[in-house]
Amino acid sequence: MSTNTLSPVSGRLFVGGEWLSAREDFASKSPANLAEVVGTFPKATPKEVDAAVASARSAFPAWRRTSRILRAECFDRLAQLIKRDTDALAVLMARECGKNITECRAEVVEGLHMVQYVFGTGRQGIYGEVIASEIAEKDAFVRRKPWGVVAVITPWNFPFAVPLWMLGPSLLEGNTCVFKPSEDTPAIGQKLVELFAEAGFPAGTVNLVQGAGETGEALVKNPDVNVVCFTGSYEVGKRIQEISASMPERIVAAEMGGKNAVIVCEDARFDLAVNAGILSAFKTTGQRCVSASRIIVHEALMDRYAKAFAETAKRLKFGDPLDAKNFAGPLIHENAAKKVLDYNALAKKEGAKVLVEGSEIQPVAGAKGCFLSPFVYQMDGKGARVLREEVFGPHVALVPFKTDEDAVRIYNDTEYGLSLAVITESYRRMRFFREECEYGMGYVNLPCIGAEVHLPFGGVKKSGNGHPSAAGLIEAVTHKTAWTVNHGTDIKMAQGLTTALEGGPA
């Protein structure tokens, strides 16, 4: 299929269960073919953002009073709709964000899994606990309650699954939401909200506002938002936390960037190690938060590894996202491509030995897109900026190490701490890295990419503030309450506290 076959999406905001009339404030263009307009969208004004928050607020009491199981059942209907539309969603996503159709399909399936997980969780016990009291006649309950209104602000690179990681647990627990997708993927954001509406979620439980940072900031500044669930860059996450610092009662769950790595030990299975490195570096054109821009390789293996890695990188096909035979697609926009080229230049300045030169390419006949070929280089791990900062593109350093302690030092020498892979046959080494490296997600004999919704997804340092997404998000979107019930006929207090109303014998 060519990238140019579908008519543009006419974008609208969704507030209080109503689709507002369409406006054409900004266009979403396909990064594989900048001439292709995927859709035109309204930029929500601050007044519209406030209206969306107000509508979420007014829908909250009835939604939180709805049985948790009935709330979960709305997700069963949503799952059926996602199954019905999987192919169309994947095509729209491929056109809008440039990821290869095979990856887009996998992402829709990941979103579906989140929805299925939420549906199943409705009948499970993580809602609360019953625990003993010091007084035999008392039962003590720990019950989770929703906070209220949750703002969901998401990045372009997982425009379907990441919103569901946040909307799913938030809504299941009885919160209502205002969703702001990335300005680079408004069409897939709108499509997702259309499915929520079709699945019968009550008016006001899910609201949609569109726009860039300004719209996101208007949402964050609204004091009636109880929780902000944010996934995106560190810089924006920091800004959101700075604004929210004036509202100490607010929860901010921020999942941010990464500077991830694969550590290849000298006992590694060689082919597995090369494949793990290639997939980690170049899947999604290096634009995953967990993409590796460092492969830390034992010096005894380095020459052989560098040769095989460079040869494989040169063979990868970057091209039309709708052609499943391609390995990956373009960068998200021209600025993103320019940023990667700037980092390629910086690497050379910082002493890189270039193994594969990265440059602009135009693989789609008759179309101008934001494509780059992979850039691969070798460099010692001595604190160069390119070894410490997130690049977010097909740019990877092979860094040699001598001892396992060296590898840990190189891995940790960045302000991020998101994902790590270790390629080894030794359980002792695997454990050493597991204990000494700073990360949120670790993988052994695997690439450092990939997620499953029943696991927490998050990082440490500049990668995350301790509220992982997907299954982990329940902690951020609920607060725990203690509820103690006395089954006795008189009052007995813990700690031997006296209940006498008048003075008695000492």
Given candidates 2, 102, 233, 412, which one binds ligand NAD under the rule CB under 6 A?
A: 233
> Binding to ligand NAD by residue 285, rule CB under 6 A?
no
Q: How far apart are CA 408 and CA 284, in angstroms?
A: 26
Q: Which of 74, 229, 289, 370 is catalytic?
A: 289
- Which of these ranges, 36-44, 69-77, 196-204, 462-470, lies near ligand NAD under the rule CB under 6 A? 462-470
Cα–Cα distance for residue pair 460/468, rounded to 1 Å? 10
Chain centroid, CA 451 distance in Å: 10
CB of 466 to ligand NAD, least distance (A): 12
Residue-by-residue DSSP string for 147-204: -SEEEEE--SSSTTHHHHHHHHHHHHTT-EEEEE--TT-HHHHHHHHHHHHHTTPPTT
CB of 99 to ligand NAD, least distance (A): 12
- Say whether residue 232 binds ligand NAD (CB under 6 A): yes
Nearest to 337 by CA among 312, 368, 300: 368
- Find the part of the chain contacting ligand NAD (CB under 6 A) among 78-86, 95-103, 213-221, 305-313: 213-221
Q: Which one of the spans 62-70, 264-272, 367-375, 457-465 is the region binding ligand NAD (CB under 6 A)? A: 457-465
Q: How far apart are CA 179 and CA 461, in angstroms?
A: 26
Please count the CA atoms within 13 angstroms of the CA of 417 that sit on its side-chain side: 19
Neighbours of 502 (CB within 10 A): 4
- Would residue 289 show up in a list of annotated catalytic residues for this protein? yes
Asked if residue 289 binds ligand NAD (CB under 6 A), the reply is yes
Residues of span 148-167 touching ligand NAD by CB under 6 A:
153-158, 162
220 makes contact with ligand NAD (CB under 6 A):
yes
Considering only residues 178 through 197, tell me which ones interact with ligand NAD, judged by CB under 6 A: 180, 182-183
**Which C-beta is closer to ligand NAD: that of 155 or that of 400?**
155
| Residue 213 lies near ligand NAD (rule: CB under 6 A) | yes
Q: Any contact of residue 11 with ligand NAD (CB under 6 A)? A: no
- Sheet harboring 9-10: ordered strands across? 9-10, 33-41, 26-30
Is 265 assigned a catalytic role? Answer: no
The residue type of 161 is: A
Instruction: For residue 216, state whether it binds ligand NAD (rule: CB under 6 A).
Output: yes
Interface with ligand NAD in residues 298-327 (CB under 6 A) = none
Q: Is 212 in the site for ligand NAD (CB under 6 A)?
A: yes
Query: Number of residues in contact with ligand NAD, rule: CB under 6 A?
Result: 34
Judged by CB under 6 A, which of 53, 101, 149, 240 binds ligand NAD? 240
CA distance 168 to 235: 26
Position 96: which residue type? E
Instruction: For residue 251, give the nearest of 49, 480, 15, 16 by alpha carbon.
Output: 480
Which of 31, 111, 258, 393 is in the footprint of ligand NAD by CB under 6 A? 258
- In angstroms, the CA 355 to CA 409 distance is 24
In what helix (H) or strand (E) does residue 388 lie, and over which residues does it extend?
none
Query: Which spans of this chain sit near ligand NAD (rule: CB under 6 A)?
Result: 153-158, 162, 180, 182-183, 212-213, 216-217, 220, 231-233, 236, 239-240, 255-258, 289, 390, 392, 418, 457, 459, 463-464, 469
Q: Which residues are catalytic?
A: 255, 289
